[in-house]
Amino acid sequence: MGELLSDLSESLAATVEAAGNVVVQVDARKRLPASGILWSADGVVVTAHHVLEREENIKVGLPDGDDVPATLVGRDPSTDLAVLRIDSPGLKEAVRADTKSLRVGHLVLALGRPTGDIRATLGVASALGGGRDISSAGRLDFYVQTDVVMYPGFSGGPLVDVESRVLGLNTSALARGLSLAVPVDTIERVVKSILTHGRIRRGYLGIGAQPVSLPEALAKNLGQESGLLLVSVEEGSPADQGGLALGDTILAIDGQPVRQIDELRGLLGDERIGTRVKLRYLRGGRAQETEVTVGERS
């Protein structure tokens, strides 16, 4: 048993040492600095949106101890992600894990560098899920919940597996009392959009809506208990051009049920902008379908 524990201990220490090469310090607030991830060797750094209390005079502390200035490229409050750019030679690049292979119970490590030295805490993946509502008016299409202790300054740092691969970015801001990690697939999508457009693009239908319960018989027939009642439809908007009207109740988009406003937002990501989606709705007690071209929210 002692040899087994010794081997495990050495393995975890080696994991932290290897993964620590892509963990940086992010100094953009008055109190203790936070952490970040060297996302690509050309100087892209990913950190948590909520740790950036200023957008200028940002400093990034590299694993070798050097401090370099950073420029804020963009941020996305709905996923608590921000993208910085630094200029320094010989940067490492985060090795991404495939989160599809992650299972509840797998060992994970949260890393941070709020001071010059790497810090780590060990835990397990305690839950995996998707479509989580978050208070900043967005949703996580997938998330990793862990039981790791989020010490001060760990937000923005990576969650890694035992092979030193990055599973996601740790944040304490998306859910009170829970340790969540934004997974690498979401980070990739957000980084790509911010580097390309300078922002996260959001889909737009041009409607005002509120959740409404469906009559019991209708809910049983449709297999859905609620939908979104349209309380306004902007003239000339995608919804208007698709034939939707005040009083209609949206049931689904491309076959995905829509019961809450956050579910609608989650289905109107940047990948759907400019595309035609099949929208199922209720009018006069009858389910109907139409196609709508998703616009871009200005």
pLDDT tens-digit readout, 212-249: 999 888 888 888 999 999 999 999 999 999 999 999 99
Say which residues have a Cβ less than 8 Å from residue 114's Cβ, sequence separation at least 6: 25, 32, 33, 34, 35, 151, 152, 153, 154
**Single-letter amino acid code for the residue at 167:** L
Catalytic (active site) residue 50: yes
Considering only residues 155 and 269, tell me which one the structure prediction assigns the higher pLDDT.
Answer: 155
As a CATH number, domain 203-296 is 2.30.42.10
**Single-letter amino acid code for the residue at 25:** Q
Catalytic (active site) residue 240: no
From 27, 35, 49, 50, the catalytic residue: 50
Let me know: does 170 contact 181? Beta carbons within 8 Å: yes
Rounded Cα–Cα distance for residues 171 and 16 (Å): 19
Element (H, E) at 169: strand 166-171
With vertex at residue 162, the alpha carbon angle to CA 159 and CA 163, rounded to the nearest 5 degrees, is 100
Residue range 28-42: average pLDDT? 96
Residue range 141-146: average pLDDT? 82
CA-based nearest residue to 161, from 101, 93, 82: 101
Residue range 158-183: average pLDDT? 91
Q: Report the predicted TM-score, pTM, of the whole model to 2 decimal places.
A: 0.76
Element (H, E) at 134: strand 132-134
**Cβ atoms < 10 Å from Cβ of 281:** 25
Tell the residue number behind the tokens 């780590």, with chain if given: 120
Backbone angles phi, psi at 258, to 5 degrees: -125, 110
CA-based nearest residue to 167, from 143, 191, 131: 143
Residue 161 predicted with pLDDT over 50: yes
From 27, 80, 248, 270, the catalytic residue: 80
Catalytic (active site) residue 141: no
Let me know: does 258 contact 269? Beta carbons within 8 Å: no
pLDDT digit string (tens) for 114-130?
998 999 999 999 988 76
Residue range 152-159: average pLDDT? 96
pLDDT digit string (tens) for 75-134?
998 889 999 999 999 999 999 998 888 999 999 999 999 998 999 999 999 988 765 554
Residue range 200-221: average pLDDT? 88
As a CATH number, domain 1-200 is 2.40.10.120
Q: Where are the domains of the chain?
A: 1-200, 203-296
From 78, 155, 172, 179, the catalytic residue: 155
